[in-house]
Structure 1
Amino acid sequence: MAEALQIFATKGDLAHVALFLWASTTSALLVWCLRELAASNQRFQDFVEQIALLTGMLEE
């Protein structure tokens, strides 16, 4: 890892490394947020289904 940073530092491509790290972190956070949103939507769907089931049982 240190060798790679040394190569980029000597060639002046350190800005590219910083941009890559920023983009990678941002993409990882986006994937995590979308995964959490999908899980939240599933939990809400399960809740709505249980309420509908309870309503159906109480109407009988």
Structure 2
Amino acid sequence: MNTVEGRWFKSTYSSAQGDDCVEVAFGEGAVLVRDSKDTVRPHLTVRREEWCRLLEFAART
């Protein structure tokens, strides 16, 4: 799953110190998730349906 460089973005809930940051990018049919402190490591790929379920769950908790 490839993304266009520069399409990664950080959550607005990330800490101000930058030590608790997750970045996401939207690929074709999937959401890509990575640690913003270690962008060289492979990212996690999640189907969009599962990403939506995760966000719905997080909004309820």
Q: Structure 2 length as normaliser, TM-score?
A: 0.26
Q: Relative to total residues, which structure has the larger helix share, 1 or 2?
A: 1
Q: Which has the larger radius of gyration?
A: 1
Q: Relative to total residues, which structure has the larger strand share, 1 or 2?
A: 2
Higher relative contact order (Cα pairs below 8 Å, separated by 6+ residues) = 2
Q: Structure 1 length as normaliser, TM-score?
A: 0.27
